[in-house]
Amino acid sequence: MQKTWFITGASSGFGKALAEELLKNGHRVIATFRKQIQADSFSASNSELGTGVVLNVNYSDKIHALIHRIITEFGKVDVVVNNAGYGLTGAVEDASDEEVRAQMETNFFGALKVTQEFLPHFRKNKSGLFIQISSQAGMVGVSGLGIYNASKFALEGFSEALSRETSHLGIKVMIVEPGPFRTDWAASSMIFTASETADYSETSGATKQRLQTISGNQPGDTMKGVQLIMEAALSENPPLRLPLGTLAINIIRNKLKQVEADIALWESKSKQTDF
């Protein structure tokens, strides 16, 4: 059954791969790009089912105008994929206000605004699926990725709440948590803090070095990843969280074990704080 998908950040990574796979399977795709030439190329290459549009998710007024136009022009949108984003690497202390706000603006506020703008449309139709492209870093903090962690933790927080607010309306939410895949995330989609404190060379510095050498050698197969995203999205009951890859699953499970251990260690005293 053909569905209409709206995907932000389709110029590379999961956004690009997902758009291509959806088109191959006969779905309609409205994909956003930062540059007009990219949008035009996408539309020309996929004239029957694909439409490229220009959007920078950092500008909320542009989001409102574009989504209003899309709903008017295309009618029902079935699936919204918040994929636009990038990674900021560097110690928490080294991140400038400008770098922090830019990270949050794209990864959190942009996704939030797109979600908010589509919610009335989904409520009217009593159906719809939001796919939030998060990361294993949306569940597990990593030295050197603290600000990126913050943006993805925030994305997952409002998305989890949203799933509880809207399930009775036929609206679903699926948070995708990829581990390291062979996308551009560790290359062109990665930014490093301008400041680097030597005391963090063994923690955040080590993460930076690892990211600089891993690009192109990540264990995750992007095509297999988007195929699973499609399968889960089109299933009767998409999961709230979908970790992608063995590493993501192992890291998240270890986090859950650590949380349980922390709870158990102080549980008896913690319960004594009740009235």
What CATH number is given to the structural domain containing 41? 3.40.50.720
152 is catalytic: yes
Domain limits at 131? 4-271
Q: Using one digit for the tens of pLDDT, what is the confidence trace for 219-228?
A: 678 999 999 9
Q: What is the pLDDT of residue 189?
A: 63
Kindly give, in sequence order, each residue whose CB lies less than 8 Å from that of residue 36, ignoring residues fewer than 6 positions away.
Answer: 54
Q: What is the pLDDT of residue 216?
A: 65
Kindly give, in sequence order, each residue whose CB lies less than 8 Å from that of residue 64, ignoring residues fewer than 6 positions away.
Answer: 113, 117
Instruction: For residue 92, give the DSSP letter.
Output: G
Q: What is the pLDDT of residue 212?
A: 77
Q: Total structural domains in the chain?
A: 1
pLDDT of 84 strictly over 90: yes
Which of 2-11, 104-113, 169-178, 186-195 is least confident? 186-195
Q: Using one digit for the tens of pLDDT, what is the confidence trace for 55-73?
A: 999 999 999 999 999 999 9
What number of CA atoms fall less than 13 Å from residue 256's CA on the CB side? 7
**Measured CA distances, 123 to 170, 172, 196 (Å):** 8, 11, 47
59 is catalytic: no
Q: What is the pLDDT of residue 185?
A: 56
Q: What is the pLDDT of residue 175?
A: 98
Q: What is the pLDDT of residue 17?
A: 93
Q: What is the pLDDT of residue 196?
A: 93
Single out the catalytic residue among 16, 113, 135, 152. Answer: 152
Q: What is the pLDDT of residue 221?
A: 86
Q: Using one digit for the tens of pLDDT, what is the confidence trace for 162-214?
A: 999 999 999 999 999 998 876 665 556 679 999 999 999 999 999 888 887 77
Q: Using one digit for the tens of pLDDT, what is the confidence trace for 124-161?
A: 999 999 999 999 999 999 999 999 999 999 999 999 99
Single out the catalytic residue among 16, 86, 134, 208. Answer: 134
124 is catalytic: no
Which pLDDT band holds residue 217 (cuts at 50, 70, 90)?
A: confident
Please provide residue 143's backbone torsions phi and psi, each rounded to the nearest 5 degrees.
Answer: -60, 135
Distance, in Å, from the CA atom of 234 to the CA atom of 222, rounded to the nearest integer, reads 18
Burial 158-173 (b: 16+ CB within 10 A, else e): bbeebbeebeeeebbb
What does pLDDT average to over the chain? 93
Q: Which residues pair with 191 in a beta bridge?
A: 88
Single out the catalytic residue among 86, 113, 135, 148. Answer: 148
Report the relative pairing of strands 171-178 and 87-89 from DSSP bridges. Answer: unpaired
